[in-house]
Amino acid sequence: MPNTQDLLLEDVDQIPEMDTITASLLFLLSKPGAESDSSVSKAIVDHLLLLEKHPGCKTGVLNNTARKLRFYWNELRSEKQQQATESLIASDLAPTDFLH
């Protein structure tokens, strides 16, 4: 999948239809464990950004909701990454006799 930021900077003709973005986003959101899967959660954030920046969604309820959900999913991803980092640090600091 191309980087969303690159796609948004390209010609407007390259941006998918809002229906396609929305359908893809709904599919991603329906995946069990989406919040724990970093590639799925990144794809969700990317699709929310596509929707938010879409020419047909510049203002209004859908734009505002996409923005708020993008902030939420970005924060969720940051928390998961922080937890993973802390877990890795803790495992590196654990005495080796506890690992066997």
Q: What is the pLDDT of residue 9?
A: 45
Burial of 80 (0-12, 13-18, 19+ CB in 10 A): middle
| Residue 91 contacts residue 46 (beta carbons within 8 Å) | no
Question: What's the domain range around 64?
Answer: 4-98
CA atoms within 13 A on the CB side of 36: 3
User: pLDDT tens for residues 47-89?
Assistant: 999 999 999 998 899 999 999 999 999 999 988 888 777 777 7
pLDDT at 14: 79
End-to-end alpha carbon distance in the chain: 41
Name the average pLDDT for the chain. Answer: 83
Structural domains of the chain, count: 1
Binning pLDDT at 50, 70 and 90, where does residue 10 land? low
d(CA 27, CA 8): 21
H/E stretch holding 92:
helix 61-93
> What sign does the dihedral 46-48-54-59 (CA atoms) show?
negative
Q: According to the model, what pLDDT value does residue 97 have?
A: 57
